[in-house]
A and B are shown apart, each in its own frame.
Chain A
Amino acid sequence: MSLTAPPVPYFFHRLRLAYSGLHPERVHSLVKASDPVEAVRMIETGRVKVSPAAREAVGVPAERRMEELASSGVTVALLGTDSYPPWLAAISDPPDLLFVRGALPTLPGVAVVGSRRATRYGINLAKAVGAAVGRRGAVVVSGLARGIDGAVHQGVVEAGGRGLAVLGCGLDRWYPVSHRRLGEALLDNGGGVVTEYPPGTVPEPWRFPVRNRIITGLSRVVLVVEAAAGGGALISARLGLEQGREVLAIPGDIDRATSRGCNELIRDGAMPVLGTADLLDLLEQEGIISQLGAGHRGFGPGDAEGGLEEAIGEAGATLEVLAERMGWPLTRLLVSVGELESEGRITRESGVIRLKKEHGRNG
């Protein structure tokens, strides 16, 4: 919807409430107790205790907020209107407002999530999944976080697919900052970036689990690529189940902490995915992707952000593989590898470079 024509009652007040910075659940209960107008008044009069900054933020007139949003290219989708995705509206606690940059999808997508502290195994899988699904035209939803999320988006971008990133902060910033270019690439490819938080909201740890319900809510299928026990990705899986989404997981080594979450999900009934073909089959059954248009393309160069050591990974890597993963010019890579070696951080044997401190698993 466009900001020039606010359609439903209380839009202005809902918008002002969003700027309060309160937990969405808290806002929701306030609104539920009376209505948005009353909720704003309660904050303004101090009957609801909030920080002075929050009260001040709520006090800013909605017209000014809308001007700000319009000038920064952000649109707002309001729950209950046509522009709001109905499958998101159907979850138990949908956000009242969605701040949107780029496009909102017209169909439910595929959530692909996982640990921020991912292994190279997980990163590769995430990229491959993002590329495979993106290439088939489905919307790939993730959180633009470090690790798996970022790799998923990267895969989508490289395959020329459409991705949707759900942020845990305002649209006036990127978190992590290093994923700024990735986020912009998503937008350039016709994807979108959304959040329930108004511009100016800084990333705080508690906001991320909350936004996970939007990631799953915007999707019909939730795939957990790699997750340790008790990670945020498992929260997404649980939310997905509660929202009636199909939850899938990619298995990993049973003795590795980084695979524990996924393996437990599978034990508890999540469908194991043993490859992109598996996943695409399921997506076809779910009607998320059509069976046509399965064109295949090679992958592009790797993520230039990740560090070289991360690219070497636990299993070690050859120079060819590193060149691909880093996407660097060869001489730059060789000099960097030489530096790591001079610092005694890697060993080389038979062309395979391994991190020294890790007890490398041999292939």
Chain B
Amino acid sequence: MLELYVLLGLMILGAIIAVETRELLSSIISIGAVGFILCVAFLRLHAPDIAITQLVVEVAVLIVLIRATIGRDTAITSGRGEFRSIALLTGLVAVIVFFAAMGLRCAPPFGEPLLTVSGTYLETGLEKTGAANIVSSVLLDFRAYDTLGEVTVLFASVAGALLFLRKKGKKTENG
């Protein structure tokens, strides 16, 4: 229990550094640290599948972000006007705290999951799907349409990124 608090505290610290530092590259490295600490937290929460996926995705995000910033002007021109929308932020935080308090009142207490639907998955997952890993049996068998939707979204985002980054067909200065 204590180590979860320590990991979450480290994540908050890394997030503050990532947001407030002036160098873009150190900001990206800090977000990488936050992601890897999150990976350790997932391992502590008995979720090895998510920990592996988080590790792979974090490396990919780091590569993408470093590719975006390297060789460009990484010095930040911050300073004045940083808190131009403090009223907006306060309003947003108030709304989020209100709805979080409402939602967390209905949430089960920490350490005692509800297991209304997933109790069935745990009981019958092995004999119905033959997979010893219940997470992959949910992902690939009980809720396979969700995985199909995930792959569709991933394909759409890759197609969009290729569309944004293409060189061919781009308008030049003189038409």
Partners in one complex: no
